[in-house]
Structure 1
Amino acid sequence: MPVAPYLDTLLLLMVTAAAINDLNSRRIPNRLLLGALAGALLLHALSPTPGQSLLSAAGGALIGLAIFLPFYLLRGMAAGDVKMMATVGAFTGPATVLDIAVLAWCAGGAMALAILVCRGRLWLALLNLWHLLRRTLLRLPATLPPSRNSAGSMPYGLAIAAGTMVFLIGRYS
């Protein structure tokens, strides 16, 4: 039984529900991600080559996790976004999750820039970025401003959903 259309449909439903939840509450429910992961694993197990398919799902989940985990560790992303990308990887496999991550980064960058400009916080974001780069890349002592203000947050689940949808549209067009 060819499972790819079912995987893509369930993936589309999951990223849509996650994006809506992220927009409404700034949270991506673990139940949603676990349910989607279970569905993906079940569909992979029903594929004509279940061993290879499940191994690909595991690799995709690990790659998805590894790609976004550093951003979480640097406090640039929430844990739900990292778990969502890992779940996307379980659906798509290692190679495709890399493509989706690049598309999500593009969507996220455009969203972040638009949000910063609309809120008038672009300068603060650049200042925060300078302090982050100074501390991590240049290995210099961090000289933080007196009040460590955030330039704001954004629902990154929406960017992951957009990247996933663009990829799926490209696959079927």
Structure 2
Amino acid sequence: MPVKQYLDVALILLVSIAAVNDLATRRIPNRLLLAGLVCAFFLHAYSADPASSVLSALGGMGVGFVVFLPFYLLHGMAAGDVKMIATVGAFIGPAEAFHVAMLSWCVGGLMALLMVACRGRLSMLLSNVGRMLGGALIPGVGIAAPGQTSVGSMPYGVAIAIGTMTVLVRDYS
């Protein structure tokens, strides 16, 4: 079996475990992500062109990290989600990491809207988004108001897993 297939199988295993853990505990374990990174770089090092493969892994990590970091800085996402997308990027490279990030945003947005609607907190969501945007666009404006209530946490690892598997299935079709 070529290295790409090993990478894909390991990645499916990683995102599946992360999604289940995120659903159960709202956390993605650092040890899981570190094991994933070690696995990705180990497999890339054994590819036909290890130098270019490892560079692609580094590029994928960077793309995943840079694309999700602003959401973490705006308190719209947890650090584990940013680390997870960076780890996914290490498996698949920069172009595919960008595709996974875009799909994960779409899936995550739908999940968030469904969760907020089911909890009856749509007006609170709009207020929080307005504060986040104001804090990001207007210097000196705070992102979070004192006593601001969250509309709830979301297992974003599930959205990343769905985005990842969608890209992998597309690659094999």
Fold-level match, TM-score > 0.5?
yes
CA spacing shift, 1:172–1:144, aligned 2, 3 Å: closer
In the TM superposition, what is the alpha-carbon distance from 1:63 to its structure 2 partner?
A: 1.1
Structure-1 separation of matches of 2:121 and 2:160: 23
Q: Which moved more, 1:142-151 or 1:32-41?
A: 142-151
For 1:76, what is the secondary structure of its paired residue? coil
Q: RMSD over aligned Cα, in angstroms? A: 1.6
Q: Percent identity over the alignment?
A: 56
In the TM superposition, what is the alpha-carbon distance from 1:144 to its structure 2 partner?
A: 6.5
Q: How does 1:134-145 map to 2 (within 5 A)?
A: 134-139=134-139, 141-142=141-142
CA spacing shift, 1:5–1:34, aligned 2, 3 Å: same
Tell me, yes or no, if the aligned pair for 2:64 and 2:97 is still in contact at 8 Å. Answer: yes
In the TM superposition, what is the alpha-carbon distance from 1:132 to its structure 2 partner?
A: 1.7
Q: Deviations over 1:13-56 (max 9, x none)?
A: 00000000000011101111111111111110000000000010
In the TM superposition, what is the alpha-carbon distance from 1:141 to its structure 2 partner?
A: 3.7
Q: Deviations over 1:43-95 (max 9, x none)?
A: 10000000000010011111111111111111111111000000000000111
Paired position in structure 2 for 1:96: 96
TM-score where L is the length of structure 1: 0.95
Structure-1 separation of matches of 2:155 and 2:20: 9
CA spacing shift, 1:131–1:30, aligned 2, 3 Å: same
In the TM superposition, what is the alpha-carbon distance from 1:172 to its structure 2 partner?
A: 1.3
Tell me, yes or no, if the aligned pair for 1:57 and 1:93 is still in contact at 8 Å. Answer: yes
Paired position in structure 1 for 2:85: 85
Structure-1 separation of matches of 2:42 and 2:121: 45
Paired position in structure 1 for 2:64: 64
Tell me, yes or no, if the aligned pair for 1:11 and 1:88 is still in contact at 8 Å. Answer: yes
Unaligned runs of 5+ in 2: none
Paired position in structure 2 for 1:22: 22
Tell me, yes or no, if the aligned pair for 1:134 and 1:140 is still in contact at 8 Å. Answer: no
Structure-2 separation of matches of 1:59 and 1:25: 30
In structure 2, what residue type is equivalent to 1:27? R
CA spacing shift, 1:101–1:144, aligned 2, 3 Å: closer
Structure-2 separation of matches of 1:146 and 1:80: 25
Unaligned runs of 5+ in 1: none
Q: How does 1:1-173 map to 2 (within 5 A)?
A: 2-139=2-139, 141-142=141-142, 147-173=147-173
CA spacing shift, 1:88–1:117, aligned 2, 3 Å: same
Tell me, yes or no, if the aligned pair for 1:29 and 1:80 is still in contact at 8 Å. Answer: yes
In the TM superposition, what is the alpha-carbon distance from 1:111 to its structure 2 partner?
A: 0.2
CA spacing shift, 1:144–1:157, aligned 2, 3 Å: closer
In structure 2, what residue type is equivalent to 1:147? G
Structure-1 separation of matches of 2:169 and 2:134: 40
CA spacing shift, 1:52–1:118, aligned 2, 3 Å: same
For 2:85, what is the secondary structure of its paired residue? helix
In structure 2, what residue type is equivalent to 1:114? L
